[in-house]
Amino acid sequence: MMNEFLPVSFNFQLSFSDDTANDNIVFKELAGISMQMETNEFSENSFKHRVPNSVKYSNLVLKRGMASKDSEIVAWCLKTFNGDLEVSIKTRNITVGLLDEAGSTLKS
């Protein structure tokens, strides 16, 4: 049975989506999980139609995080930020999870 009450205290957890990494970083604040679908509008026979065009995603902002100094995620970030402009950035898929006060994942 799913808990019907909102958690009193919660954190957000960031981890790489692939199975090779078992590293997690916990954050207190998160913003920017949103998307906006742009549409094109055209008229035909006195009707206006909207057709989906593209999707825009906002930037993910994580605040007040804690990670170990040997974290694979931290190493990836440092390599990306301190990298040479001639070296391409290695993209990674991430998962963001909502944790309850006990550290269990409620949603991801």
Residues 33-48: pLDDT tens digits?
Answer: 889 999 999 898 889 9
pTM of the model: 0.65
Residues 8-19: pLDDT tens digits?
Answer: 667 888 888 876
Residues 105 and 6 sit within 8 Å (Cβ to Cβ)? no
From first CA to last CA, the distance across the chain in angstroms is 18
What are the b/e assignments for 60-72, b being 16+ CB within 10 Å? eebeebebeeebb
